[in-house]
Every structure is written in structure tokens, then in C-alpha cells.
A and B are shown apart, each in its own frame.
Chain A
Amino acid sequence: MNGTVVKNQLIFDFASGSLGLSKSIFASTYLYLNSKASSIHRTFENVLGDNLLENTDIPLSKFSYSDCLTNKTKPVEATNDNNSPLSKIVGPLNDIKWKQIYKGFSEYTPNIDDADELKLIKMEPGTAAPNHSHGGKEYILVLSGSFCDEYGTYSKGDIQINDQKIKHTPIASNDEGCICLSITEKDVIFFGRYGSFLNLFTFIRSFFK
């Protein structure tokens, strides 16, 4: 399946409310940074709204309209808070306590209760991420800076979705480096210079999960 179809599928799944927590945060941040994705999302929400309008009728047996006139619902107020959805979860990017994995490559994993692991990755200018392939799908969203790999250049608001067949080596841009949000469905298998060390690290870490 080509990349755009997979991206649209993520947007549609977000609109349908079927994503887990990690992927919801990821998709929401993607829409926040990428206006094209956001417009596709709005269109698809309208398609789903039409489905509601044309849906079959199964009347309520326990409630009537008068049960809805007293306000027991939690307050939902419009605010002017236009911050990134991610910053609500992890705070400002500048304040993140990065954990260095090796020189020039750091990670931060927010504590989120979900099967898919959401992670922030920071690569200093010119740093390469270890060459790796994937057990499950990997989603990468560029939050700042840019990176390139065998398939192209990715800048702020771009996403890349990789499946298990793809091996790739992302390299952060030389001037500003790169901060990305990533989701890994299953543990990544590393190759190359740091490969065996990182696989061992992943293996050992799996005991502490």
C-alpha cells in the first residue's frame, strides 16, 4: 500500500475514534502541525456525520428529552488554548528531560498506558539513527528540524510510516538536527554498528516492562 493511503487510514481511524491512546496523541499532533491532514480529517468527520444523519432509528426506552435539560455533564468550555496536544502530555519541548542513548541520539518516553509505545526522539545535527527494520509498523512525525533517509526528506509536520519490510537509516539535517514523535507497534530490530548493543538493550529492557 502506498504511503498516502496509510496516512489517510490513520486520519480516518482517528476520526472514527478507533485508535488507542498513543496513536490518538500522535494523530492529533499530526493534524495540529499539518493543515492538509487536518482538512482531510474535517472532510472525513463530515462523511461520518452524514452517516449519523442517515442512521437507522432505535429509540431510547429509558430517557426522554426532559432528562437532558438538567445539566449533569462535565463542563466543556471553549478556551483560547491553542497549544499542541502533545504539549499537554509532555510539556514544552524545551523542558524535556532527554535520555541519551548514544552520542547525538536521545529519547524520552512519556508514561502512557497503551500497548503502542509513544516516544520522542532527538537527533543532533548530522546524527544517524541506527539502521533498523521493524517487527510492527513504525510511525514517525517530525516536530522540529528535519531528517532524510533512503526515501526522501521529512520536515516539520511530515510523517513517515514504515512496515516490517523496510530497512532505513534516518539522518538528522546538518543545520538544525531533528526532534520527532514516534510510535512503534512492536520492538524494532537494529542493524549496523550499534545494532547488536541496541538489540541487547531492548531485550534486557523487556524484562523490566
Chain B
Amino acid sequence: MDKSGLDRLMVKINNDRDEIAFSELFDFLSPKINSYYLQNGLISDNAEELTQEVMSTIWSKSHLYDSSKSAVSTWVYTIARNKKVDFLRKNKDFKYNEYDIREFLYQANTEHKNDKYEIRDQVEKINKELDYKQRQIIKMNFFENKSHKKISEELEIPLGTVKSRIRHILIKMQRIL
């Protein structure tokens, strides 16, 4: 499914409370969210429970999705990530959850003028500038949150090479951002 497909489903879910559209979105997204949690080192039971929570949030909070501000995939990613952080902090009596800390980022009245398209351009530039291997390392480091050591084991390259590649990627991205 492409981005416009996701957008269409979100409109049906939000405007018509269309359960068929939601089941399509569920079939497409839940396996990807589930593997995100597994990649982040969660055991299967927890990964499934958190995935179910993310999908429930999408259904019940669909009115909070603002298509002019972000892509569906980015919105879903932030929900999944925040649930992961709250889960990993474990400290149940802690007063602030991840939403409190990031709350201002989700407000409609933030004054950041750079719109979705400007951001899209930058993302495309990043994808063009970085080769497959570099994008793979970004994914492992920042999406799967794997340690440098784990990355070096999985890719079977020395730890020093991982570190220098990440550094190289960061320098490259700095020129784009």
C-alpha cells in the first residue's frame, strides 16, 4: 500500500467510522508495528500487546491525525515509539509519560511553518544521498535501536567500521538538514 492508500483509509476511518477500512489498515500496519517492537528487543507477548494498543489508539484517536502536518506513517510511528518509551521506562508511579514530554510537538498551534512538502523534499534528498548500506545502518541504529556492537555482529563487520560509518552518515545528513 502506498501513502495515498493510507491517507484514503484514514479518511474513511475518521469520517465514516468505517470498520472495513480499519481492518485493512490493521492488516497492513500491525505486522510492521509488531516487528518494530520485536526488533527493539521486546518479547513477543509484549510486542503484540503494544501493537494492539497502537492500533486501538489509531481507531479511537483518528480525529487527532492531521494530514496537513504529517504522513500517516509518521503519525503511527510516533504513537508506536511513545508507547515503547513508556513501556521501557517501566517506572509505573512516574508522573510524566512520554506524551507529556512531547506534548507541544503535537499541538495544532505550533508555529513551525515548514510544511509536509518541504519535509518530504528533505527526506527524499536523504534517501537519494545515502546508499542502501547507509540506510540499513540508520534503520538498525535509530529505528531498531540496536547497539553498535549488535549492528557489528549482525552485519559481520568490525565495531570500528560501524562507528565510523555512523559518523560518516551523520556528517552527510548534516549537509542536507
Q: Which residues of chain B from 16 to 46 have a CB within 8 Å of any chain A CB?
A: 19, 22-23, 26-27, 30-36, 38-39, 44-45
Verify A16–B173 contact, CB threshold 8 A.
no
- State the CA gap A28–B99 with chains docked (Å): 11
Chain B residue with the shortest CB-CB distance to A39: B114
Q: What's the nearest-Cβ distance from chain A to residue B145, in Å? A: 5
> How far apart are A89's CB and chain B's nearest CB, in angstroms?
7
Chain B stretch 137-167: residues in CB contact (< 8 A) with chain A: 138-139, 141-143, 145, 167
Chain B contacts for A148, CB-based, 8 A: none
Per a CB cutoff under 8 Å, which of A24, A49, A57, A68 touches B71? A49
Q: Assuming A8-B170, A73-B60, A76-B64, is B31 touching A58 (CB within 8 A)?
A: yes
With contacts A73-B56, A76-B57 taken as known, whether A17 is within 8 angstroms of B139 at the C-beta atoms is no
For B112, the chain A residues whose CB sits under 8 A away are 35, 38-39, 42
Could you tell me the distance between the alpha carbons of A25 and B35 in the complex, rounded to whole angstroms?
Answer: 28
Asked if A31 is an interface residue, CB under 8 A from chain B, the answer is yes
Q: Which chain B residue shows the least CB distance to A37?
A: B177
Rounded to whole angstroms, the CA-CA distance of A72 and B57 in the bound complex is 9
Is B120's beta carbon under 8 Å from chain A? yes
Cα A31 to Cα B105 in complex, Å, equals: 9
Question: Do B59 and A50 have beta carbons less than 8 Å apart?
Answer: no
Determine whether the beta carbon of B123 is less than 8 Å from that of A50. yes
B96 at the interface (CB under 8 A from A): yes
Q: Are A52 and B142 in contact (CB under 8 A)?
A: no
Q: Is the CB of B64 within 8 A of A58?
A: no
Distance of A32 Cα from B100 Cα, bound (Å): 13
Partner of B106, one of A47, A58, A73, A78: A78
Expressed in whole angstroms, the Cα–Cα distance for A13 and B147 within the complex equals 12
B-contact 0/1 string along A1-25, CB 8 Å cutoff: 1001100110011011110010011
The yes or no answer to A56 lying at the interface (CB within 8 A) is: yes
Complex Cα–Cα for A82 and B104 (A): 5
Q: Is the CB of A58 within 8 A of B73?
A: no
A residues in contact with B48, CB < 8 Å: 60-63
Are A58 and B74 neighbours in the complex by a CB distance under 8 Å? no
Given contacts A16-B143, A68-B59, contact A50 B102 (CB under 8 A): no
B22 touches A65 (CB 8 A): yes
User: In the bound complex, what is the Cα–Cα distance between A157 and B138 (angstroms)?
Assistant: 27
Chain B, residue nearest A61 (CB): B48
Contact of A89 (CB < 8 Å), options: B3, B19, B77, B96: B96
A200 within 8 A of partner (CB) = no
Query: Within 8 Å CB of A38, what residues of B?
Result: 105, 112
Q: Name the A residues within 8 Å of B91 (CB-CB).
A: 113
> B68 contacts which chain A residues (CB < 8 A)?
none
Report Cα–Cα, A70/B22, bound state, in Å.
13
Q: Mark B73-92 against chain A: 1 for CB-CB distance below 8 A, else 0.
A: 11111101110110001010
Report yes or no: B123 in contact with A46, Cβ–Cβ below 8 A. yes
Residues of B within 8 A of A47 (CB): 123, 126, 138
A→B interface (CB under 8 Å): 1, 4-5, 8-9, 12-13, 15-18, 21, 24-25, 28, 31-32, 35, 38-53, 55-73, 76-85, 88-89, 113
Residues of B within 8 A of A (CB): 3, 19, 22-23, 26-27, 30-36, 38-39, 44-45, 48, 51-53, 55-61, 64, 70-71, 73-78, 80-82, 84-85, 89, 91, 94, 96, 98-112, 114, 119-120, 122-123, 126-127, 138-139, 141-143, 145, 167, 170-171, 173-174, 177
